[in-house]
A and B are shown apart, each in its own frame.
Chain A
Amino acid sequence: MTSIPAGRIIRFALLSLGALMILAPYIFMISTAGKTQSDIFTSSLSLIPEHFYFAENFAKALSKVPMATLLWNGVLVCGMIFFFQVLVAIPCAYAMAKLKFRAARLMMVLVMLGLLVPIHATALPLYVAFDRMSLLNSYTSLVAPFTISVFAIFMFLQFFRAMPDDLIHAARLDGMSELGIVARVIVPNAWPAVTAFAIFSVVAHWNDLYWPLIVVSKQAYATPPLGLMYFRAAEAGDDYGALMAATLIITLPLVVAFLFAQKRFVEGITMTGLKG
């Protein structure tokens, strides 16, 4: 029992080596966030800073970037997007999955087409339209195009199809209206799908740079990725200590959320990733 087979050792070594490469950016991010400018220039390979400069770098990052505004914008935008996506998608998916809906097939075609079209393809006309309506630099422009998620419809559709029809029949016999059924039977039972979709949606929109970059040009409405871009372009230059500190602050919320709810994250991404 004491001897470990060679295969296991090799496997473990390979995995560790790969893990180290994956972790390297994080390690250097944390280490550099604690270094003085001169440390950064002279000893880039030593991981432990010679002078602990964390406080100064973080202070600099926080003073130059309205970090609270960025994070608040990120939370607000992601929250609103997610709220509307679920609000719109669940009734639609329910109608397609469980009601005698003559347009269900047509809807399915629309959904499949919609799955194909990313924001990058629709951005130009939407930008023109928002510009005409003077809606650029607003939460509306950040949120509105994402209120419809065909992906959400697709996912909930799969989930509802697997739900037993008898559940809905029983609810109808109990005298519930269709809306009542959606609110009191379907939604409570759809929690696994809702959380999985929440993770998918938040990760996607928290990270999105393309659309905010197009419709927002004022810092007041900047989301975290956009804010970081401004900071890097305007203020920081080669001040990598402060830059890494800012990076750390902005990366942290999602990474912490991931570390706390890893299983849900992985489930969410897998569930959203594998069709059917």
Chain B
Amino acid sequence: MSSVAVAGNVRSAAALHRRSEDRIAWLLAAPAIVLLLLFVLLPVVAVIFLGFTDFELGYGKFRLVGFENYAHLLTDRTFRRSLWNTSVYTAIVAPVSIVLGLGVALLIEGEPRARGFFRTVYFLPVASLIVAMATVWQYLFHPTIGPLNALLALVGIPGPNWLGASNTVLYSLSIIGIWQSVGFNMVLFLAGLTAIPRELYAAAHVDGAKSALDRFFLVTWPMLGPTTLFVVTISITNAVKVFETVKMLTDGGPNKASEVLLFTIYQEGFVYLRVGYASAMTVVFLAILVVLMLLQYRVLDRRVHYT
């Protein structure tokens, strides 16, 4: 009998201990939970709700309008333009900066001496204030006094009005975007490259993979899979989030040729103060991010992790 009682005590003591540990855990996590609710979850719910209203800042009253905002989005030429421009920008910046980032990483990996120097140089834009560097780019791109067109004039090519013409502005912004993100991608790829076991390359040599290309396809590329997937997702996400350069340099112009998603949301919500309508746009923006994440986790993740 007594042994049973002791066992019961031990069990309840263990349960007590577990309960107290759980309580401490709640206490430790409480600030994070409260702030998470306050600054992430609640606002997301609010934005979804506001998307169904005609709320405008300054007017006290608002009413529910159902899918009216979304219906309006479909026909809104500015919004469609902005979605298209964001897609074009992303379609240029993400692939080019990924390929260049990988290329630079491979070149640096093989460079025995000046490796540290090159890594620093390519990474510099990541550590620089992009708003400030955008101003420098504006000067470089200046149609009359900019060095870029002066350089083109030397070889007899009439330089375009880079940021000032509606047919070149998006490409000019893309150049800045690529310049800014190559270093970031390079650093991620370098980390991925150093994580590849050296013995795999030795095995590839012994197995008869004679050319660098053979070894790239046999070892480097597949082993970089997880890194590449991550770089692709983050590059696309960052490109979709382009805002600073547009706000600083073009204000969406000329003629809405550089309207991008976040800039349009900013204009609608914080300049024209049409919060309801801007919320609907924000929901579209969030949906794009969700789709990107799902693509990463569900479809691609399984194919690049091997364990």
Contacts and interface: CB of A to CB of B under 8 A. Distances in A.
Chains A, B in direct contact (C-beta < 8 Å): yes
Interface of A: 8, 11-12, 14-15, 18-19, 21-26, 28-29, 32, 40-41, 44-45, 87-89, 91-92, 94-96, 99-104, 107, 110, 113-114, 116-118, 120-128, 131, 144-145, 147-148, 150, 153, 178-179, 182, 203, 206-207, 209-210, 213-214, 224-225, 228-229, 232, 240, 243-244, 247, 250-251, 254-255, 257-259, 262, 265-266, 269-270, 273-275
Interface in B38-75: 38-44, 46-47, 50, 57
B32 A101 contact: no
A230 to B, nearest CB: 11
Given A126-B43, A182-B28, A274-B191, 12 more contacts: A15-B104, A19-B122, A22-B183, A26-B124, A26-B136, A100-B18, A101-B21, A121-B47, A122-B44, A207-B130, A229-B247, A266-B123
A178 B234 CA distance: 37
B132 A121 contact: no
B286 A107 contact: no
A105 to B, nearest CB: 12
Nearest to B121: A19
7 contacts: A14-B107, A21-B179, A91-B31, A110-B33, A228-B132, A247-B133, A266-B123
Contacts of A107: 29, 33
A214 B127 CA distance: 24
Interface stretch (B166-174, B201-209, B214-222, B261-269): B261-269
A32 B139 contact: yes
B36 A203 contact: no
Interface stretch (B3-11, B76-84, B277-285): B277-285
B129 interface: yes
A262 to B, nearest CB: 6
B135 interface: yes
A120 B244 CA distance: 12
A116 B290 contact: yes
A124 B279 contact: yes
A124 B132 contact: no
A11 B191 CA distance: 20
B269 A95 contact: no
B272 interface: no
B248 interface: yes
Given A92-B29, A122-B47, A148-B32, A25 B40 contact: no
A251 B285 contact: no
Given A15-B108, A15-B111, A150-B40, A225 B241 contact: no
